[in-house]
Amino acid sequence: MKRIGLIFVLIVASGLLAACGGKATAEPPIIDTGVDPESWAVVPAGEFLEGQHEHPTLVDYDYEIMVTDVTNAQYARYLNEALAAGAVKLVAEDQQIVGYYPGDEFRGAKHEERIDEGDWLHIDLNEKGLRLSFDGTTFTPLPGYENHPMVEVTWFGARAYCEYYGGRLPSEVEWEKAARGTDNRPFPWGDAIERNNANFYSSHDLYQKITDSRGGTTPVGFYNGKTYDGYKTLDSPSPYGLYDMGGNVWQWTGNVYEEQHYRYMRGGSKMEYEQWLRVWARNNAHPKYFGPSVGFRCARDIATTE
């Protein structure tokens, strides 16, 4: 019996060692996916099947949406421009970037919190998961993370980026139509998910080994059918050619709903199992929330670009 006890203790100890051991690589592999983060896709007007239960829903206008999530390089460039233009402010003592938001109507519903007019947090420079550096005047993406999605950004910060460039955060319906197209597919790329369709909990990609505060995301457009350092990806665009509409990072959407202050996110993330990558899966948080698994992309009206 003592021998059995010893074996048991050894099994437990080896399990724990396996879980906690192994030093995480701090530097991410630098990979150019070839997908342009500056590109936009047109989503034409028309009906699509919304939600898990496939309710026919009409979007009666054309719109454009970014092919990828906003990257660290793009957001750093924006911060530099917006700071110079006075569109956002640096609160030096708190090391925070804040910006104006006109506020939401408060209806006093249960659990509803006030989102008043004023300056709200966009990013917290103290946050360890942030992949930007700031030397007091200029923002720069951390080496290796230039083409990774911008994370640790609040809903206010995401909204401000899109509006600064004449766009907006996509509504939930816009986001879902862009992810699903007009058929009833559960995932942006089709009916089933393989581990190399997207960056999620079971994907075992090159970046999953980086378990430090900043790691885990893949460069935008990573799952495009190319093979990187022996890791073969499946080409996984949505019907309109969008990448990363499932996995990598949750994406803020723009709706402000009555009687609640929550803002909704879509798409699932690197930290989620496959069911959260289904096109109708939702997450939500307070608009001042930021995290290492939450990013965004923008939408805009076609007219704006003409």
Partner 1 sequence: MQAIRSRFTFLFRSTKGLVLVAIAAIALVTAIFGMLSGPMVEWGVKDVVVRLLDLDLVPAEREGRIIMLYHAIAMAVVAIAVYLITAVVPMKPHEQATINATVTAGYILSMICGLAFAYLGHEWIFHGLWLFGLSLVFFAGILLAAALWPWRRDYQIKDTAYAHWGRIDLERAAFFTMAVATLGSAMFGAVTGSYWGNGHETFLAEDLIREPHKTNLEYSIIGHLHIMLTLIAVAVALIVGRRFDFKGPLHKISMPIMIIGTIVITIGAWTVVPIPPIAHMIIYFGSVPVLLAALFMVIFGFRKLIQEGLAKSGGRGFGASLKALVHDPLRFGMLWQMVFMNFTVSFIGIFVAVKLDEIFRVWPARDERLILTGHWHVLSGIVATIILFYYADMVGLKGKVRQWFGWLVIVGSDVAFASVTIFEVKRLFVSEADQQPVVNWTMALADIGLIVVLVMLAGLMVWRLVDLFKRDGQWRTELRHDPHVGIAQGDAPESLAAAQELSK
**Chosen residue from 27, 32, 94, 259 binding partner 1 by CB under 8 A:** 259
CA atoms within 13 A on the CB side of 46: 11
Strand-pairing partners, residue 132, are: 141
Per CB under 8 A, does 127 bind partner 1? yes
Distance CA 226, CA 238 (A): 17
282 in Cβ contact with 255 (< 8 Å): no
Nearest to 255 by CA among 155, 171, 175, 154: 171
227-228/231-232 β-pairing: antiparallel
Distance CA 72, CA 267 (A): 19
Distance CA 145, CA 161 (A): 19
Give Cα separations from 30 to 145, 165, 211, 288 (angstroms): 8, 28, 16, 31
Phi and psi torsions of 221, nearest 5°: 75, 15
Per CB under 8 A, does 181 bind partner 1? no
69 or 272: CB nearest partner 1: 272
Per CB under 8 A, does 11 bind partner 1? yes
Per CB under 8 A, does 179 bind partner 1? no
Per CB under 8 A, does 202 bind partner 1? yes
Per CB under 8 A, does 113 bind partner 1? yes
Per CB under 8 A, does 105 bind partner 1? no
Q: Is the dihedral of CA 39, 45, 46, 50 positive or negative?
A: positive
Question: And the tokens for 218?
Answer: 């893949």
* Cβ-based burial of 190 (10 A; exposed 0-12, middle 13-18, buried ≥19): middle
Could you count the other beta carbons within 10 Å of the beta carbon of residue 206?
A: 18
Least separation in angstroms between CB 66 and partner 1:
22
- Interface mask (CB under 8 A) for partner 1, residues 209-248, using x and -? --x-xx-x--------------------------------
Mark the segment that binds partner 1 (CB under 8 A) among 29-37, 86-94, 233-241, 291-299.
Answer: 291-299
Distance CA 198, CA 187 (A): 10
Per CB under 8 A, does 255 bind partner 1? no
Mark the segment that binds partner 1 (CB under 8 A) among 5-13, 39-47, 83-91, 172-180.
Answer: 5-13
What amino acid is encoded at 53 in this protein? Answer: H
37 or 216: CB nearest partner 1: 216
Per CB under 8 A, does 104 bind partner 1? no
Per CB under 8 A, does 191 bind partner 1? yes
Least separation in angstroms between CB 219 and partner 1:
19
Per CB under 8 A, does 57 bind partner 1? no
Question: And the tokens for 82?
Answer: 């917006």
Mark the segment that binds partner 1 (CB under 8 A) among 30-38, 65-73, 173-181, 271-279.
Answer: 271-279
164 or 289: CB nearest partner 1: 289
**Chosen residue from 285, 296, 297, 299 binding partner 1 by CB under 8 A:** 285
Note the residues at the interface with partner 1 (CB under 8 A). Answer: 1, 4, 8, 11-12, 15-16, 18-20, 24, 52-54, 109-113, 127-129, 152, 184, 186-187, 191-193, 201-202, 204, 211, 213-214, 216, 250, 257, 259-260, 262, 265, 272-276, 278, 282-286, 289, 291-294
